[in-house]
Amino acid sequence: MPLYQHVAERGPPPVTEEQRSHGAPEPYHLMGKGAVPDPDNPTVLVIVTGGTLCMDVRADAEGGSLRPMEGGLRASLMQMDELDDKRGKRQQLPHFEVLEWPHLIDSSDVGPEEWRGLARDIERHYTDYDGFVVIHGTDTMAYTASALSFMLENLGKPVILTGAMLPLAKVQTDGKRNLLVALFIAAYSQLTEVCILFASVLMRGNRATKSDCWAFKAFESPNYPPLGRVGVEIRIDESLLLAPSKRAFRVFTGLCTNVICFRLTPGFDDAALVRLFETDMHPFGVVLQLYGTGNAPVRGGKFLSVLQQGIDRGCAVVAVSQCYKGALNLQAYANGAKLLQAGVINGGDMTPEAAATKLAYLLGKGYRGPRLRRLMETDLRGEVTDNPDYLPIPADRMPPTLHVVHTAPTPATHPPAVDRDSEGNGDTSGDGGVKAKGEAGRGGQEGWSLEHTRGDGLRCRL
C-alpha cells in the first residue's frame, strides 16, 4: 500500500492569481514522453533552481564560462533515453513533473530569500506529490539542505537535493545518475526528512558538507553515517532515519538573516571583533569556529572581553569546531571553559552550515537567552549528536599516567620482553595494569600498542 494517498488523473496543481502575479511557475510534464500519472504509483515534483547540472558553456566576453541556461534542463531531459517511452525505459521510473524557476541561478547567489521560495514551492504542492527533488548547485547545497530541514516543520515526505559536478549536456556528466537515483528515492523511500543524494550516497541534509570541489564524490557526512548507499540495490538504513512526525506539516520562513560566521585565525587583530560588536548594529547571532575541541586565545588581547561584551549586549554566540570531524567540548581545555563561562553556546558536532541555519531559524522564532541555548544544544532535526561517545574523557575521570610499552624486533633465541599468556598477550596483573598486545617485532617491524585498564572499568586505548 502506498505510503501517501495519491490523487488520480490530475494535472499540474493550480496556481492562484496571487502566485501568478508574482511570477510563480507551473509544473510541466515532459511533453510527448511523460506517462499518465497512475493513482497507485507515486509522483514526484522536481524543482529546478539552477546549478551546474543546468548550465552550459557560452562563448562570450567572460571567456566561455559555465552559466545557467533557462529551459536547458528541459531540452536535456527530452534527449535522455531513460525518459523515452518508445523504448519502454520510462515505465521503470516514477512519474514526475518539473517546476523550473523562471530565472535559474548559480548557487553562490542562493540565500534566505531563495530558501523561502523553495519552502513555499514545497508547501504549495505538498499534498499533490509524494516526494520532492530539488536540483541545486553544489557550492551552497549543504546550507540550503540545512535551512530547509528546519523551515519544513513536521515534514512527512522525502525532500532530496541533488545536482552535478558537470552539466547534464556533457557526455561524462554525473548529473544523469544523480537525478535518476534521487527520483527513485523521493518516490519509493519512507524518508520524512531533507537529504542530499550525491555520487550514490544518501546523506542527511543538515549533516552533509561539501568536501571536494573537483571529484564526483563532492559531499560527505563527517559526523553521522550515510543514510543509504546505491549500488546494484538502493540500501537505506532505517535505524538511522528520523521518526515521522504526528503533527501537521507547516512551513516557517521568518529566518533571522543577521547571523554571521567568524573563523578564528592565529594572531588576528582583536579590533575586527571589536568593530563587530561595538555598535547597535551588531549581529544577533555569530557562529564562532574554534580550534580543535573548542580552544581560543584568551592570554592577552581583548578577545574574551570583547566576546563577553557582545554576549552581554544580546548577541548569541554558537561555537563549532574548525575540524572536519569531531565534536566540540568547551570543558576539555581551560581556555574553552572560559568561553563557556562567558555564555558561548556549545555547538557539539554540528557542521557550520547546520549551526548557522539553525541559529537563524531559532532567532527568527524569537528565542533568546537560556531557551535559545537549550534548543541550540538539543537535537531538533538530527543535526547534532546528544552526548556523542567520542567526546574527550572529563578531567575527573582521566586514567593515571600511561606508560608506553615499545616493542622491538627480538631474536628468536631470546624470550620477549613481556611475559605472554596463552593468547600471546602481555599481562601484568592488578588494577591499573598495562597490557601490551601483539607479538614483538612481528614481520621484523617495530611498533607499539597499549591498552590501559582501570579498576573502575574505564578503558583508554592508544
> Which residues is 139 bridged to in the sheet?
none
CB atoms within 10 A of CB 276: 18
- The answer to whether residue 402 scores a pLDDT higher than 60 is no
| C-alpha dist (Å) from residue 449 to 258, 314, 406 | 50, 50, 8
Instruction: Show the cell assigned to 273.
Output: 571583533
Give the range among 40-44, 158-162, 441-445 with minimum mean pLDDT: 441-445
Task: Work out the pLDDT band at 28, boundaries 50, 70, 90.
Answer: low
Q: Report the percent of the chain where pLDDT is more than 70.
A: 67
- Top pLDDT among 442 and 88 is at 88
Question: Which residues have C-beta within 8 Å of that of residue 192, sequence separation ≥ 6?
Answer: 155, 156, 157, 158, 241, 242, 243, 244, 245
- The answer to whether residue 309 scores a pLDDT higher than 50 is yes
- The answer to whether residue 287 scores a pLDDT higher than 70 is yes
Q: What's the pLDDT score for residue 389?
A: 58
- The answer to whether residue 410 scores a pLDDT higher than 50 is no
- The answer to whether residue 68 scores a pLDDT higher than 90 is no
The whole-number average pLDDT for the span 274-294 is 87
Give the range among 56-60, 171-175, 389-393, 423-427 with minimum mean pLDDT: 423-427
What pTM, to 2 d.p., does this model score? 0.76
| C-alpha dist (Å) from residue 47 to 51, 54, 129, 136 | 12, 12, 12, 9
- Which of 87-91, 99-103, 288-292, 300-304 ranks highest by mean pLDDT? 288-292
Give the CB-side neighbour count of residue 199, counting CA atoms within 13 A: 16
Is 69 exposed, middle or buried, given 0-12, 13-18 or 19+ CB atoms closer than 10 A?
Answer: buried
Helix (H) or strand (E) holding 316: strand 316-321
Residue 73 Ramachandran class (φ > 0 left, ψ -120 to 50 alpha, else beta): alpha
Pairing state between β 43-50 and 95-105:
parallel
305 assigned to a ligand binding site: no
- The answer to whether residue 446 scores a pLDDT higher than 90 is no
pLDDT, tens digit (0-9, with 9 covering 90-100), for 198-225: 999 999 999 999 998 887 788 999 999 9
CA distance 193 to 205: 8
Task: Work out the pLDDT band at 311, boundaries 50, 70, 90.
Answer: very high
Q: What's the pLDDT score for residue 296?
A: 92
Task: Kindly list the catalytic residues.
Answer: 52, 138
Task: Catalogue all structural domains in the chain, each as residue range(s) with its CATH number.
Answer: 17-251 (3.40.50.1170), 259-376 (3.40.50.40), 393-462 (no CATH)
What size, in residues, is the chain? 462
The whole-number average pLDDT for the span 281-285 is 85
CA distance 406 to 382: 43
Q: What's the pLDDT score for residue 269?
A: 79
Q: Rounded to 5, what percent of the chain is helix, strand, coil?
A: 30, 20, 50
Task: Work out the pLDDT band at 55, boundaries 50, 70, 90.
Answer: confident
Helix (H) or strand (E) holding 47: strand 43-50
- Per DSSP (E only), the strands in 344-456 are 345-346, 406-407, 434-435, 447-448, 451-453
Q: What's the pLDDT score for residue 350?
A: 98
CA distance 141 to 153: 19
pLDDT, tens digit (0-9, with 9 covering 90-100), for 82-110: 665 555 555 578 888 999 888 888 888 99
pLDDT, tens digit (0-9, with 9 covering 90-100), for 253-262: 999 999 999 9
Q: What's the pLDDT score for residue 3?
A: 27
Task: Work out the pLDDT band at 30, boundaries 50, 70, 90.
Answer: very low
Nearest CA among 322, 376, 330 for reference residue 351: 322
Report whether 319 contacts 345 (CB < 8 A): yes
- Top pLDDT among 126 and 62 is at 126
Q: Which amino acid is present at 268?
A: F
- The answer to whether residue 323 scores a pLDDT higher than 90 is yes
- The answer to whether residue 305 scores a pLDDT higher than 60 is yes
138 assigned to a ligand binding site: yes
